[in-house]
Amino acid sequence: MLMEAKCPSSMSSSLSLSRTVLLVLFLLPATMQAAAAAAGHEEMKSIYAGPKVLPVRLGRPAFGPESLAFDHRGGGPYTGVSNGRVLRWRADRRRPGWTEFARNYKHATVAECAAKKKLVLPESVCGRPLGLQFNRRTGDMYIADAYLGLMRVGRGGGLAEVVATEAAGVPFNFVNGVDVHQETGDVYFTDSSTTYQRSDYMLVVLSGDATGRLLRYEPRTGNVTVLKSGLAFPNGVAVSGDGTHLVVAETASCRLLRHWLRGPDAGATEVLAELPGYPDNVRPDDGRGGYWVALNRDKAWAVNGTTPASVAAVRVVAAAGDRTGEVAVALRGFGAATVSEVVERNGSLWFGSVETPYVGLFKFTSL
């Protein structure tokens, strides 16, 4: 997640203006280097997918499908939306549509959260599911709720339970991305900042905050371990296909990190790839050894605004034996709407976005 949240209405207009000015000042160095950054990625293939995306509408009042997941039987997609619930797509030929799959305890304890309508409360009151992923063996879904913590719901859905709210004595403040190691069952997730919550996401960038953490939850024991601290807005996380490492999107640094789980470098973190924009979620491609990385904005955004050429997502690949990856494909043509996640499945790309009332679907012939 990155660009959906707005400044709290209680803030003064002068503070809001100050943030705007600070944002421009912060982005100027990046935009001055935009041409150089683009040159560094000039070999990447561009696909103008945006105009060909089919919107799978959520239906009112659901909005902002941040992350997408498919269950062990291929059902879905499932997605978390702005009223704190998780929805499931049922591809019934006679009556396809979205149904509620999971809710949190706030929907039972806070009257304003119980109603299935557009929220007028701050999202922190009812929760906001961001990253989603299944344990394919158990059928459990893990939910990274920005405000409520790491949650789990069984394969039948219903009321999700909170399984973790702190690590090393420090409470979670901005839980964001999540993935499950399908061999071990361990859950890897990010806490984007221990200083600022999601509602103040912009301050994470503007202040130079580097209090984000990469974490592991062990379902067998309930233990939570800090794998890496001092990160600048860690966002999406993905377990590699061979299970040896994690790939983490570090938003404020416009790069992907690799954190080794096994092998001679176990415990070490290194830069995997520099990116042409600010990354959100990251997901493996469909068995080809690369990763789809959603870009909330490209580096040229502050100067050029959003154009048809703006990069909305990239596919990053690393050749066998290489320690660093390269951007191989860029997806463009999405207009003003940002992309928060890309999931490749059976010859199609599914898109999540915190700024739309639909999930996007793009069927491709080659990438």
What is the extent of the structural domain holding 200? Answer: 13-40+58-284
pTM over cut 0.85: yes
Note whether residue 332 is domain-resident: no
For residue 320, what are the contacts with CB-CB under 8 A and spacing of at least 6?
A: none
* Domain presence at residue 143: yes
Whether 255 maps to a domain, the answer reads: yes
pLDDT digits (tens, 9 = 90+) for 33-49: 444 444 445 567 999 99
Q: Specify the pLDDT at position 306.
A: 80
Q: Which of 21-25, 112-116, 257-261, 289-293 has the lowest mean pLDDT?
A: 21-25
Q: Which of 268, 266, 267, 247 is nearest to 256 (CA)?
A: 247
340 within a domain of the structure (yes/no): no
CATH code at 171? 2.120.10.30
Provide the domain count of the chain. Answer: 1
Residue 289 lies in a domain: no
Structural domain contains residue 22: yes
162-208 pLDDT, tens digit per residue, is 999 999 999 999 999 999 999 999 999 999 999 999 999 989 988 99
Q: Report which of 248, 237, 165, 234 is spatially closest to residue 201, judged by C-alpha positions.
A: 234
CB atoms within 10 A of CB 322: 10
* C-beta of residue 162 within 8 angstroms of C-beta of residue 150: yes
